[in-house]
Homo-oligomer: A and B are copies of this chain.
Amino acid sequence: MEVHQLRYFCAVAETGSFSRAAEQSHISQPSLSQQILKLEDELGARLFDRLGRSVRLTELGKTFLPRACAVLRELEAAKGDVVEGKEFIGGSITVGVIPTVAPYLLPPRLTTFSRKFSQVRLTVVEEITPVLLDRLRSGTIDVAILALPIRGREFDAFPLLTERLFAALPKKHKLNSRPSLSLKDLRAEPFLLLRDGHCFRDTAVAACDRARLHPQIVFESGQFSSLLSMVGAGMGVSIVPEMAIEKKSQCRYVRIADDQAVRTIGAIVLRGRSLTRAHRAFLSHLREA
């Protein structure tokens, strides 16, 4: 039983004539005849009485007609749903962010996005990178915003911005006046760093490694604001990305003059996943803003 057979059947039922139905269906009368015959064959019963003059539904045809119509209606509805679904910018997006980005980059962009696409329900979760990657794989988040690069070809990445790293120094530190400094200059300083698991800790440690620096770590925290408070209190120095700089804190910030002392923030999605219009809108909004 094929869709076109049902179409032809309904056309004949509607017009009361094979010829008319064929015309309406844009096929030749014999072709339509064949398909009706075939349908009747499969059902094992006649659907029409062929009287000399006209054609009339049999009892069975009468019971079959609404069924056939229902199938065609359902089909149209299905197609319509898809088209609509494609046009529609809405639905929900769940975005995951690493903690060292969450407070700085996202809030303003989320509000402008939500204003622009009020149909889209945004959910944000804050997790460290490996958790985000797992959640991308399992589909519990759609997009992750984190530090690039991510190894492997498992994800598609969209870089958003690259920021320099800064040394955070106590207010009265002797290096404060310098426009920039090398990490080597911090050799003697006690360090405050993010806790293990935070990718920016790795970024900072990598930068130190390149400078042959093996810092003594005197404090660890899960968030920059704690580190900066401690730095302001004179416990030591730290390394922070540009976006973490708090103007009104007790710290001073000096740019680190190392071309590799940067971090790149980007959005990634699971490679091969099809993106809804909402997803795409979100990604391009992130890039524009």
Interface contact B60-A276, CB-CB below 8 Å: yes
Q: Across the interface, which residues of B come within 8 angstroms of A46, CB to CB? A: 274
| Contact among B63, B70, B78, B274 for A64, CB-based, below 8 A | B78
Q: Across the interface, which residues of B come within 8 angstroms of A58, CB to CB? A: 273-274, 276
A288 adjacent to chain B (CB < 8 Å): no
Q: Across the interface, which residues of B come within 8 angstroms of A43, CB to CB? A: 79, 82-83
A41 to chain B, nearest CB (A): 12
Interface contact B60-A86, CB-CB below 8 Å: yes
Interface contact B44-A86, CB-CB below 8 Å: yes
Interface contact A70-B78, CB-CB below 8 Å: yes
Interface size of A by Cβ–Cβ distance < 8 Å? 40
| Contact among B3, B49, B63, B78 for A68, CB-based, below 8 A | B78
A271 to chain B, nearest CB (A): 8
Interface contact A85-B70, CB-CB below 8 Å: no
Interface contact A272-B67, CB-CB below 8 Å: no
A50 adjacent to chain B (CB < 8 Å): yes
A228 to chain B, nearest CB (A): 41
A45 adjacent to chain B (CB < 8 Å): yes
Q: Across the interface, which residues of B come within 8 angstroms of A51, CB to CB? A: 270-273
Interface contact A91-B59, CB-CB below 8 Å: yes
Interface contact B68-A71, CB-CB below 8 Å: no
A108 adjacent to chain B (CB < 8 Å): no
Interface contact A85-B63, CB-CB below 8 Å: yes
Interface contact A86-B45, CB-CB below 8 Å: yes
A33 to chain B, nearest CB (A): 15
Q: Across the interface, which residues of B come within 8 angstroms of A1, CB to CB? A: 3, 75, 78-79
Q: Across the interface, which residues of B come within 8 angstroms of A271, CB to CB? A: 51
Q: Across the interface, which residues of B come within 8 angstroms of A60, CB to CB? A: 82, 85-86, 274, 276
A81 adjacent to chain B (CB < 8 Å): yes
A67 CA / B82 CA spacing, docked (Å): 10
A56 adjacent to chain B (CB < 8 Å): yes
Interface contact A82-B59, CB-CB below 8 Å: no
A81 CA / B61 CA spacing, docked (Å): 10
Interface contact B78-A67, CB-CB below 8 Å: yes
A49 CA / B59 CA spacing, docked (Å): 46
A217 adjacent to chain B (CB < 8 Å): no
Write the chain B residue with the least CB distance to A43: B82
Q: Across the interface, which residues of B come within 8 angstroms of A64, CB to CB? A: 78, 81-82, 85
- Please, could you name 7 A-B residue pairs with CB atoms under 8 Å apart, sorted by A? A43-B83, A59-B85, A59-B276, A60-B82, A60-B85, A67-B77, A68-B78
Q: With A45-B86, A60-B274, A64-B82 given, can you name 9 additional A-B contacts, CB distance below 8 Å?
A: A44-B83, A49-B274, A58-B273, A58-B276, A59-B85, A60-B82, A67-B74, A67-B81, A70-B78
